[in-house]
Amino acid sequence: MQKTLKTNESNVTEKKPINKMSIVSLILGIVSLKLNFLGILSLLTIIFSIISIIQIRKTKERGLPIAIAGLILGVLITTILLIYLIIFSL
């Protein structure tokens, strides 16, 4: 009588890495919240977010919610800055 050893094959799926540009865009968005007098940071946040969303769609990497959060922060801060400039320039 032979004993057979059964091994359980685990379905290990390799996780895709998180897109680095999406992390940069979120960090820039948070920093531009603190330094909102620098409009260039919020514009850089928007640019980095759009680039990372395009990269994520092409490479199927993770990090889309992070890139979207960065984009929302960038647009929100840019809008607030533009409203501030319009109100106080009159």
Residue 68 structural domain: 20-89
pLDDT for 40-67, tens place per residue?
899 999 999 999 999 999 999 999 999 9
pLDDT band, very low/low/confident/very high, at 12 (cuts 50, 70, 90): low
Interatomic CA distance for residues 27 and 10, integer angstroms: 36
- The answer to whether residue 71 sits within a structural domain is yes
* pLDDT for 5 beyond 60: no
Structural domain includes residue 10 = no
* Number of domains, the chain: 1
pTM of the model: 0.79
Residue 7 domain flag: no
- Residue 24 domain flag: yes
Nearest-angstrom CA–CA distance, 78 and 42: 6
CB-based contact 45:25 (threshold 8 Å):
yes
